Amino acid sequence: MPTYSAPIRDFQFLMHDVLKLQNQNLPGYADLDREFTAAVLEAADKLASDMLVPLNKVGDEQGCTLKDGVVHTPDGFKEAFDAMKAGGWTALDADPEYGGQGIPYLLAIATNEIFTAANMAFSMYQGLTHGAYSAIHTHGTPEQKKTYLPKMVSCDWTGTMNLTEPHCGTDLGLLRTRAEPQDDGSYLLTGQKIFISSGDHDLAENVIHLVLAKAPGGGEGTKGISLFIVPKFLVNEDGSLGERNAVSVGSLEEKMGIHGNATCVMNYDGARGWLLGDLHKGMRAMFTMMNEARLGVAMQGYACADAAYQNAVIYAKDRLQGRAATGVVNPAGAADPLIVHPDIRRSLMDQKAFIEGGRALVMWGAHLMDRSHAGDEDADGLISLLTPVAKGFLTDKGFESTVMAQQVFGGHGYIEEHGMSQYVRDARIAMIYEGANGVQALDLVARKLPQDGGRQMMAFFERIKAFCKKHGDNDAMAEDFIAPLKAASKDLQTAAMYFMERGMKNPNDALAGSHDFLHLFGHVTLGYIWSRICLTAHHALENGTGDTEFYQTKLATGRYYMSRALPMTATHLARIQSGSRHVMALPADAF
Amino acid sequence: MPTYSAPIRDFQFLMHDVLKLQNQNLPGYADLDREFTAAVLEAADKLASDMLVPLNKVGDEQGCTLKDGVVHTPDGFKEAFDAMKAGGWTALDADPEYGGQGIPYLLAIATNEIFTAANMAFSMYQGLTHGAYSAIHTHGTPEQKKTYLPKMVSCDWTGTMNLTEPHCGTDLGLLRTRAEPQDDGSYLLTGQKIFISSGDHDLAENVIHLVLAKAPGGGEGTKGISLFIVPKFLVNEDGSLGERNAVSVGSLEEKMGIHGNATCVMNYDGARGWLLGDLHKGMRAMFTMMNEARLGVAMQGYACADAAYQNAVIYAKDRLQGRAATGVVNPAGAADPLIVHPDIRRSLMDQKAFIEGGRALVMWGAHLMDRSHAGDEDADGLISLLTPVAKGFLTDKGFESTVMAQQVFGGHGYIEEHGMSQYVRDARIAMIYEGANGVQALDLVARKLPQDGGRQMMAFFERIKAFCKKHGDNDAMAEDFIAPLKAASKDLQTAAMYFMERGMKNPNDALAGSHDFLHLFGHVTLGYIWSRICLTAHHALENGTGDTEFYQTKLATGRYYMSRALPMTATHLARIQSGSRHVMALPADAF
């Protein structure tokens, strides 16, 4: 049975020491003292350990079932969901006006990471609800907010996002679901949506679907799309549940992983819905959900990897195999533990350096979102630039990391018994949903990079430059951190320049390098984050604040990332600079 | 339903044009004219298309079942296995003295690739049998050969390899299965073996287990290990089946993939066995099977990737999404097909260049094995060096390639319906079995690299150097192929030198880079192979032999590999040169 323990020390280090939240004048931050964050994180860890971790394999094995139109979640999910609601976890960072606790996203995402690492499929029921909550909170009428938000904050009602149709996903301009306006101001929706996570289940009284559909008069493509609130049960004036809406589950998808989450085909057969936000401006409203959701998916990438890593470490310390090349370590045993072997270390260090760097990136991103919500435009611009990087890079690498963790187990990783296969299968979805990673790369190169005349990209480079300048003379930083960060950042600048120059003449020259650019950007960002982490650790050691081992481990892990991961930027740059010539050389028929 | 079509044109190009088999004076090669190879490959393709491809998903969904001690394979497997036997496919490259057809391995591995791509789990029943056949053929007594080989060649009896035990896999010195000598010269074996592929099933009358066990007097560790033949049913003097041996299936493993293959826990409870080869020399006999098997597993890596790739291509041509950045391609449709998008092309080209390069490497490897069997010591040395590279590199990259193919499908790749998840799940095992890839890297760096004073490695470098020298002035080759090959080969030499110098002082400096060295070596090898392929294609175009499109596609794909894959060598070298300092920096407790 796999185990998982929340990295509370790391969360606190990032929040209090690296991001120094106590110095930030932001709503709710004053309440986040060390005692409070520890209490919240420990309570989340307890819920995760007691209820969610043991259900992870149950969910994988049982999956969800559809009987007579009703979706049943795996044994124990209902009890765990009730416990999550009772603990107030669903309301953590929601608006107090609707029953939320108004806690900053910075802390909320840490608890979400704990729940995700413990049981990704389970945590999605609440995760999707939060996305739908945000969309209604931002775009809903006062009446809509009053009707839906309190119940969604408590997760008595859960939420979904309905975008994809059988013939279209990324290209939503092609969608066919129709919304016919009615005299009473409502709409009747007809069409089929697929891949609807948490689409239906037995955990909540009602499911509030947010559905993209075309209402008359909106024109072609995405311009004609509006967003609708379509509840599973209609809501009476007094807030009680009324009749069943004409929305039903067509089938459950058989998937590679996240079996505990009900992925539904949803059929809308004249289902009654209400416009959310402006008519024909549905894409904008949907992106409110998507941007937040993308950072959440980025988190899933390394959260799953962390759970897998923790189990790989246990196995590597326990399993005896061979002898250390430098001399016997475990003379009392028949062999030394796996962890003595350099190639196992290489794998564990790759995982550890990625996971901790990924966590720091997402925590920083959550902090930027807190700033953005408080009106900080620079923070808003930066997180807008970093979101596709975080989503694409951390989910690609997160999946790779689970594969590495599985590999530590040898044959025992391939059988389902130890749960390593499940981490790999679960993590795989994060590269696909909320915009497949190719779409993240496209978003980055075609939209975010040139946005505002490249202002956000420039600001990012300036930030790194300033950091390097400030700490370039610090002996503790210069060689191990600043030098490789400078080199990697230069590769990124060269790549950005290449796109600027070539993209005008031939957009394919930029697009052919989009995947590599996203990864190059990801490495530079993690290199920067690791440099900040290690600067903080260095200061703490200088100041003699104790916990020496923790800070020295950070420094060693950071040095590993800088020396062994950052060299990838040169390869990405070389691939980018080869342009589209070889990528596009063949006619389609030649494949 | 996924489809698959055998790359017959590519096989023939590799065999007849690149490897020029008609010029080689090797047993059986004279019979391999183009007409014959085409006939064999087409017949294999027909069997694969008619029977194996449709059973691939059936096998994945049904898996194998154990009822009252009897293993049942999925519906249709027996019929397909009978068809494979009837077609003589199991006897292809076996010794005619025992009913085989004596066809060179070069052609046999091509048919194996077809069967693997069509249905990997199914093809393993025959694959394992062939490995066991080889071990008995090499190490068996005349009597043993007479008793077992004809039935194994026909696959009336199948074979297995029993190495792993619950507490030990790679480190076989720890194994506990005991063999007690009996007065009649036989042994009684007691112990438990796990992860036994094709361990038991209903496809054949008998299963011949080759089992590693410790017989008295052999000393500690691997020195005390012997190899035994343990048939499921004892064989009477007249060749008929006698009583059931005391070997039974404890359970079937639940696995991530290859569900159609029965992976068994085998219990030996005083099972009667006979020594194969010399007493206490079991490891050597087992390696006869392993080396051949490793090239076969290398093939599985890209074979699975090819099947996934072919389906990704179909999807990319069919699925409409967005518009080409350089202008509408499909004005009659609502959108352009996926394949117009550079990032999709990038993915497909990565897959295509890897798969075709991987195939060329394995075909070359099979040819070297044919030479080695005919007594060519240089070929034997070279394939011994290349085997861990092919196994490790092609299975790592093969898995990545299936993930890329799955990604082309977006959400449709994650659901089981389209079969892409299965390719990923099936391909994953190839990185683990027949020696996990970390063990391949260790074998390469610690054994093969320094072997005979580095003679094989030197010979490899000389080969590349001679090739570069010979074709460096050829304008068609110089810039696109020879220059990047030279640069990559230089990186490999620098890495090898680093290991030689540092490995003496601190073996961890070499071992920490073993994974990167294997991949660096893999890229150089594929770069060399692609250069040979493209030289051949260039000559064909010069000679005006027709089929211009095929050769031009080869050139474009080769240029893609050289320009976009080979830059990885610099990153691998940088990682290697960072040594073990950062890899081994942390105490085990810090993980």
What number is the average pLDDT over the span B566-572?
97
Q: Which of B266, B267, B182, B187 is nearest to B227 (CA)?
A: B187
Among the ranges given (A411-425, B27-41, B366-380, B495-509), the one the predictor scored with the smallest mean pLDDT: B495-509
pLDDT of A333: 94
Rounded Cα distance between A213 and A133, Å, is 19
Same domain, yes or no: A324 and A358: yes
Answer yes or no: is B140 within a domain.
no
The pLDDT > 90 percentage for chain A reads 94
Subunit contact B407:A335, Cβ cutoff 8 A: no
Rounded Cα distance between B113 and B102, Å, is 18
pLDDT of B222: 86
pLDDT of A533: 98
pLDDT of A220: 84
Which phi and psi angles does A503 have, rounded to 5°? -60, -30
pLDDT bin (cut points 50, 70, 90) of residue A290 is confident
Answer yes or no: is A181 within a domain.
no
Answer yes or no: is A187 within a domain.
no
- pLDDT tens digits for range A136-195: 999 999 999 999 999 999 999 999 999 999 999 888 889 999 999 999 999 999 999 999
When the pLDDT of each residue in chain B is averaged and rounded to a whole number, the result is: 96
- pLDDT tens digits for range B442-477: 999 999 999 889 999 999 999 999 999 999 999 999
Same domain, yes or no: A342 and A470: no
Subunit contact B564:A580, Cβ cutoff 8 A: no
Contact B192, B111 (CB under 8 A): no
Structural domain count of chain A: 2
Same domain, yes or no: B336 and B403: yes
Same domain, yes or no: A406 and A522: no
Subunit contact A514:B553, Cβ cutoff 8 A: no
Answer yes or no: is B120 within a domain.
no
The residue from B42, B400, B434, B549 that is catalytic is B434
Range of the domain at A367: 285-440
- pLDDT tens digits for range A391-432: 999 999 999 999 999 999 999 999 999 999 999 999 999 999
Answer yes or no: is B555 within a domain.
yes
Same domain, yes or no: A384 and A485: no
Asked whether the predicted pLDDT for residue B287 surpasses 90, the reply is: no
When the pLDDT of each residue in chain A is averaged and rounded to a whole number, the result is: 96
Subunit contact B590:A514, Cβ cutoff 8 A: no
User: What tokens appear for B85 in the block?
Assistant: 């036997």
User: Which H or E run contains B12?
Assistant: helix B8-12
| Domain endpoint, select from B440, B457, B486 | B440
Q: Which of residues 181-240 of B touch A (CB under 8 A)?
A: 194-195
Same domain, yes or no: B295 and B413: yes
Answer yes or no: is B396 within a domain.
yes
Asked whether the predicted pLDDT for residue A433 surpasses 80, the reply is: yes
Asked whether the predicted pLDDT for residue A256 surpasses 90, the reply is: yes
pLDDT of A289: 76
Subunit contact A584:B407, Cβ cutoff 8 A: no
Asked whether the predicted pLDDT for residue A288 surpasses 80, the reply is: no
The residues of A annotated with a catalytic role in the active site are 434
| Domain endpoint, select from A393, A410, A440 | A440
Subunit contact B560:A256, Cβ cutoff 8 A: no
A330 chain-B contacts, CB cut-off 8 A: none
Rounded Cα distance between B191 and B200, Å, is 17
Asked whether the predicted pLDDT for residue B391 surpasses 80, the reply is: yes
Subunit contact A590:B413, Cβ cutoff 8 A: no
Same domain, yes or no: A307 and A432: yes
B62 shares contact with chain A (CB less than 8 Å)? no
B312 shares contact with chain A (CB less than 8 Å)? no
Q: Which of A458, A453, A369 is nearest to A130 (CA)?
A: A369
B585 chain-A contacts, CB cut-off 8 A: 556, 559-560
Q: Can you spell out the DSSP letters for A536-571?
A: HHHHHHHHT-S-HHHHHHHHHHHHHIIIIITTHHHH
| Domain endpoint, select from A384, A414, A440 | A440
A172 shares contact with chain B (CB less than 8 Å)? no
pLDDT of B117: 98
Subunit contact A514:B556, Cβ cutoff 8 A: no
B564 shares contact with chain A (CB less than 8 Å)? yes
What number is the average pLDDT over the span B100-108?
97
Residue A341, domain CATH: 1.20.140.10
Asked whether the predicted pLDDT for residue B329 surpasses 90, the reply is: yes
A590 chain-B contacts, CB cut-off 8 A: 549, 553, 556
Q: Which amino acid is at A98?
A: Y
Answer yes or no: is B186 within a domain.
no
What number is the average pLDDT over the span A528-534?
98
- The dihedral region occupied by B68, where left means phi > 0, alpha psi between -120 and 50, and beta the remainder, is left
The pLDDT > 70 percentage for chain A reads 100
pLDDT bin (cut points 50, 70, 90) of residue A128 is very high
CA distances A212 to A142, A179, A274, Å, are: 21, 9, 11
pLDDT of B94: 97
A38 shares contact with chain B (CB less than 8 Å)? no
What number is the average pLDDT over the span B91-113?
97
User: Given A413, A563, A578, which is nearest B563 (Cβ)?
Assistant: A578
pLDDT of A591: 97
pLDDT bin (cut points 50, 70, 90) of residue A545 is confident
Subunit contact A256:B563, Cβ cutoff 8 A: no
pLDDT of B566: 97
Q: Which of A433, A432, A427 is nearest to A401 (CA)?
A: A427
Rounded Cα distance between B30 and A315, Å, is 53
User: Given A169, A337, A560, which is nearest B411 (Cβ)?
Assistant: A169
The number of beta carbons lying within 10 Å of the beta carbon of residue B58 is 18
- pLDDT tens digits for range B518-564: 999 999 999 999 999 999 999 999 999 889 999 999 999 999 999 99
Rounded Cα distance between B524 and B492, Å, is 7
Same domain, yes or no: A365 and A327: yes
pLDDT of B432: 98
Rounded Cα distance between B322 and B56, Å, is 33
A297 shares contact with chain B (CB less than 8 Å)? no
pLDDT bin (cut points 50, 70, 90) of residue A383 is very high
User: Given B413, B553, B570, which is nearest A570 (Cβ)?
Assistant: B570
What number is the average pLDDT over the span B209-221?
93
Asked whether the predicted pLDDT for residue A470 surpasses 90, the reply is: yes
pLDDT bin (cut points 50, 70, 90) of residue A210 is very high
- pLDDT tens digits for range A42-60: 999 999 999 999 999 999 9
Rounded Cα distance between A304 and A425, Å, is 10
Subunit contact A582:B575, Cβ cutoff 8 A: no
- C-alpha Rg value of chain B to the nearest Å: 24
Subunit contact B441:A254, Cβ cutoff 8 A: no
- pLDDT tens digits for range A331-381: 999 999 999 999 999 999 999 999 999 999 999 999 999 999 999 999 999
User: Given A322, A326, A334, which is nearest B508 (Cβ)?
Assistant: A326
Same domain, yes or no: B340 and B375: yes
Closest CA in chain A for residue B317:
A588
Residues contacting residue A107 through CB under 8 Å, at least 6 positions apart: A15, A32, A37, A40, A92, A93
A560 shares contact with chain B (CB less than 8 Å)? yes
Q: Which of residues 536-555 of A touch B (CB under 8 A)?
A: 549, 553
Strand, helix or coil for residue A315: helix
Subunit contact A428:B403, Cβ cutoff 8 A: yes
Residue of A346, A400, A547 to mutate, testing the B interface (most B Cβ within 10 Å of its Cβ): A346
pLDDT bin (cut points 50, 70, 90) of residue B169 is confident
A352 chain-B contacts, CB cut-off 8 A: 591
Answer yes or no: is A220 within a domain.
no
A580 shares contact with chain B (CB less than 8 Å)? yes
A335 chain-B contacts, CB cut-off 8 A: 171, 173-174
Q: Which of A327, A405, A343 is nearest to B442 (CA)?
A: A343
Size of interface A-B (CB pairs under 8 A): 257
- pLDDT tens digits for range B238-258: 999 999 999 999 999 999 999
A505 shares contact with chain B (CB less than 8 Å)? no
Same domain, yes or no: A577 and A522: yes
pLDDT of A225: 95
Contact B76, B273 (CB under 8 A): no
Which phi and psi angles does B212 have, rounded to 5°? -85, 130
Same domain, yes or no: B433 and B454: no
The DSSP 8-state label assigned to residue A252 in this structure reads E
Same domain, yes or no: B457 and B430: no
pLDDT of B223: 85
